[in-house]
Structure 1
Amino acid sequence: MSAETGERTGAGATAAVPAGAHPSASRARLWLLFTALALALLLSELDQTVFATALPTVVGELSGVQDMLWVGTAYMLAGTLALPVYGKLSDLLGRKPVLITGMLVFVAGSVLGGLSTDMGTLIAARAVQGLGGGGLIVLVQSVVADTVPARDRAPYLSAIGAVFALSAVAGPVVGGWLTEGVGWRWAFWVNLPLGGLAVLAVAVLLRHEPPRRDQPVQLDVAGTTTLAVAVTALVLLVSWGGTRLPWASPAALGLAALTVAATGVFVLVERRAAEPVIPLGLFADRTFTAAVLAGLVMAVAMFGTLGYLPTYLQMAAGLGPTAAGMAMLTLVAGLALATVGAAQLVRRTGRTKLLPLVGTVAVAAALGLLATLTPGTPLPLAGSYLLLLGLGIGCAWEVLVVVVQNTAPDAAVGTATATNSFFREIGVCLGSALVGALFTARLGALLADRLPAGAGVDADSLTPALADGLPPAVRAAVAGAYNDALTPVFALLVPVVLASTVLLLLVREVPLATTAPDAVGERDDLPGQRLE
């Protein structure tokens, strides 16, 4: 939404309500809708946190420790490729059919994952889940933008943040309970009833009104294809470079060349596309570009760290799956407090620039502290570092969504939101792949160097339960190897986060609109979200 829109709709305007509806009744229906949307989002977010805690046991049972990073990377790669497509299709066809389709695909991937008997099938299942779940966050944020003024949007987005907090709280605990109880496959099976309930709720509460168009929908097939090639080549390069492929090898150089070439072709295709999947004109706005790139850089550091903290707590600190999940609650507490507090500050002041700056500095400080961890670090002290990390993330993450949406044209909110999420997911993929590649490469070398000869330990099949049963000297060697493989990576991520701080200095403080687009009749082509 443009700055002019924010000024035009002034501080005296009120939030949009359906025509003829009583305001209090409309607000009640609005919250019912967002409850359904939050349930849909919980579908994918809970799965990721449940599975993160179960991952060490899963890869041990399936003898795939060296392929561990692909379990998460496959989900993120597929979800990243789907993100801009979801955003564009929802702008063209409406949010509801795209949202329900995504949830059904995610459930299908969960079925495949529950039936997995080897790492190949498991990785394929995670990719299918990514194709389904990758666009849910974009669609939820787009519906918020359609129905809530920018000035009042932060509390609703903080509710989305609460979903992340809930999944982060419940997921590790549930994942640990399932792993130690009925088995890790139930990390997939629990998605079936939750997914069915989410589909039913969205089908009932969200009405589909296709946008009015003078011309048939034109899908950007060429842009989507070239984008898929570029992203896939990039993720393969950072995942295999330095581990399976030497950086100077012909294969690695070929992947790098393919990434550059496909990106160049994508830019040329988008300039000519009738309905570009990522409109390049969005980047003409300095604030949009700075916020999107800052989110990408921050995602590299944050999610590269978060993806491996549960594994670290189990293998280095000696915690069980459930205890490791409980230890993550301090991070979640910081995230929840900062998200809610940031939302209220944005709503009261209308200012969005300072909070992300503070957040990135806090994240950098937390990563620096995490780099000092040892297997003997007291758990409360490690918890304080995680608390600071959560506070930093909560100050910045959802506020930047408001910044991006507030600078985008009203008719392209879905596409702009998807573009922002796409670049964030690129950062997530890069962060997870780079951290995973560095971590696993260092871990393999350290285990080979430190494990006593004849210890009889298969590093590829090492689970937390097996590690606990090792002789004390061997167990200490394993813990030290995991610690020394991961903590230096935390230190390397500090300047990465500070780079996002520099980018955020370029953000302009744009007035936030106080009326939703459909309240003032500014979006004739709005992809039709109305409360039943």
Structure 2
Amino acid sequence: MKDSPERSSGKSYSLLIIAISLAIFMSSIDGTIVNIALPTISESFDISSSTVSWVATAYLLVMAGCVLIFGKISDIIGFKKIFLTGFIVFTVGSFACGFLPDLLDSFGSLVGSRIFQAVGGAMITAIAPAMVTAFIPMSMKGKAMGIIMTVAALGMAIGPTVGGILTQYLSWHWIFFINVPIGIIAVLLGAKVIPSTVTGKDRDLSGFDKKGGLLIFFGLASLLFAISEGQELGWTSPAIIATMIIAVVSLAGFVWNELKVTEPLLELRLFRKKNFFLSNLLFVLLFLSFSGINYLLPFYLEYVQGFDSSTAGLILTSLSFAMMISGLLAGALFNRTGGRPLCIAAGFVILLGYYFITHLHADTTTAFVVGCLMLIGFGLGLMVTPISNMIMNSVGKQYQGMVSSLTSLERFAPLTIGIAIFNLIFLQGVSLIAEHRGVTTEAPVNMKLEVLSSGFDLAFLGAFILSIAVLILSLIVKQEIHPDYLEEGPETEIIGGMI
């Protein structure tokens, strides 16, 4: 395939979309396939649940710290190098996760391998949306994003099931080994079909913002550690206070540094554009509201409705499959209707879903729960595809990797932060309604149904309020296409004077 994507055939574009989809699939399935095996890993190494959680936590912290860094690097040296290197690192790391712990009889080697794997994961996660913007023609962008959204939802849907099957019938090692053949295919395919063009101004890393990279790594990693571990360690514990101080100082230093350097890691001046700021805020609030449902609904289904974990997991997949359907629909409609009408329609669907979910009680039927989940999932799929396109298409080509990594961060960081926020809301609801003290120290399974329901009611209300903000923002944001994409097609109004 030649470097100019315009000369590519339809077949080459299809292969390119497949390569990008593999990156998204690996990223989404890894987020769900590992957690289900943590109890088994805990038993295998005879360690506590808090210790084994570092298998997930270490990966998350490295991903958060590295994703913006690799987004900027891809703008300088090109997407192809980052994509191939990322998949190689991720694949080698996956093999190490499954092989080294038994060889060395060491849990530490598993955590170390996960850190190495996360570096590769950050590379491929950072640039996947940018590759659609950079290499896929405007007339195919909506369809391409729809396919990728569907693949991401598929990874979320099958992750727990595949992870459970592999862990039960083979061993927990295979949740990592399964990545190896997929990674090899992605590397071979990517080497063939991904153009070698460079979108940034520089073609070497001599001017890379190293100081900004260090500050954002420590800032985001410290922030997510404090938020994710605050409930476990105590919000006033020395470790949490220290990491919060590191986070605040590092992130403040990062902002100060980015406004001074000539080639910033993240061009903060982009946020001076009201529409760019509001579009990204919409993206963040969308996933923040979803985090509460994603985290709390398994507890509701198991402890209030009385389902076992496998049945609860099956019920939750209805959301992912609804996302798959609406993701394809949004992709097909994007170039016909534009992104804004799809976002508005999705905003109403999401609001309706969250409204209904505030009415869940101990005697709520399974059909009603599934209906709520399908509404939310359908709305999510209908919105993520157009808003991702709108954000990516609103900036110049030299910022594609940077903004792509930003949207990746805006997906998984709110999901992590939201867990802590909605857990606090849930416990606050329980403590407000409960008539006796000490109820919040009980495990959820031991609380009375009425007390549990009150906690879920308040948490779900929080998600509903956020969905109102999502709808309002969807009515405000506009679809803007940067002049860099003027030659790709006249489907959308070009907004001049953009960065």
Q: Give the TM-score, by structure 1 length.
A: 0.77
Counterpart of 1:199?
Answer: 187
The equivalent of 1:466 in structure 2 is none
Instruction: For 1:347, give the aligned amino acid.
Output: N
Q: Distance in 1 between matches of 2:54 and 2:448?
A: 22
Q: What's the CA shift for 1:447? A: 8.6
1:224 Cα deviation after fit: 0.8
Quote the Cα distance in structure 1 between the aligned partners of 2:466 and 2:305: 26
Letter in 2 for 1:244: L
Note if contact 1:147-1:516 (Cα within 8 Å) is conserved in structure 2.
no
* 2:258 equivalent to 1:270: yes
Please point out which of 244, 266, 269 is paired with 2:233: 244
Match of 2:81 among 97, 117, 133: 97
How far 1:387 sits from its partner (Å)?
A: 0.6
1:283 aligned onto 2:271: yes
Aligned residues: 474
Whole-angstrom CA distance in 1 between matches of 2:55 and 2:303: 18
Report SS of the residue matched to 1:184: coil
* Residue in structure 1 matching 2:23, options 25, 37, 40: 40
The equivalent of 1:461 in structure 2 is none
- 1:229 is the counterpart of 2:218: yes
118 and 376 in structure 1: CA distance in 2 versus 1, 3 angstrom threshold: farther
Partner residue, 1:497:
467
Q: Note if contact 1:77-1:429 (Cα within 8 Å) is conserved in structure 2.
A: no
Q: 2:405 aligns with which of 418, 431, 434?
A: 418
Equivalent-residue separation in structure 2 for 1:216 and 1:400 (angstroms): 32
- Aligned-residue offset at 1:220: 1.0
Query: Which residue, 182, 188, 206 being the options, matches 2:170?
Result: 182
- Would the alpha carbon gap of residues 54 and 294 (structure 1) be closer, same or farther in structure 2, given more than 3 Å must change? same
Greater RCO, CA 8 A, separation 6+:
1
Query: 1:244-323 residue pairs with structure 2 within 5 A?
Result: 244-247=233-236, 252-307=240-295, 309-310=297-298, 313=301, 317=305, 319=307, 322-323=310-311
Amino acid corresponding to residue 31 of structure 1 in structure 2: S
Read off the aligned partner of 1:510 and give its amino acid letter: E
Alignment gaps of 5+ in structure 2: 432-437, 491-499
Correspondence for 2:495? none
Pick one of 375, 379, 382 that aligns with 2:366. Answer: 379
Map of 2:70 onto structure 1: 86
For residues 264 and 298 of structure 1, do their structure 2 counterparts lie closer, same or farther at Cα, with a shift above 3 Å needed? same
Cα pair 1:46 1:171 within 8 Å, conserved: yes
Displacement of 1:201 after TM fit?
Answer: 1.6
Which whole-Å CA distance do the structure 1 matches of 2:246 and 2:405 have between them?
24
Amino acid across the alignment from 2:334: V
Residues 104-143 of structure 1, C-alpha deviations (whole Å, 9 max, x = no match): 2222332343254777655554443332213423322111
Q: Which moved more, 1:276-285 or 1:132-141?
A: 132-141
Q: What RMSD over aligned residues (CA atoms) do the two structures have, in Å?
A: 3.6
The alpha carbon displacement at 1:398 in A equals 1.9
1:69-80, aligned counterparts within 5 Å? 70-80=54-64
TM-score by length of 2: 0.82
Q: Report deviation, 1:383.
A: 1.3
Structure 1 residues 298 and 215, CA gap change in structure 2 (3 angstroms)? closer
* CA distance 1:337–1:225, shift in 2 (3 Å): same
Percent of pairs identical after alignment?
24
- How far, CA to CA, are the matches of 2:449 and 2:97 in structure 1? 30
The structure in which a higher percent of residues are helix is 2
Q: Deviations over 1:85-112 (max 9, x none)?
A: 1211111001111112211222233234
Unaligned runs of 5+ in 1: 1-15, 452-474, 521-532
Change (3 A) 1:428 1:74: farther
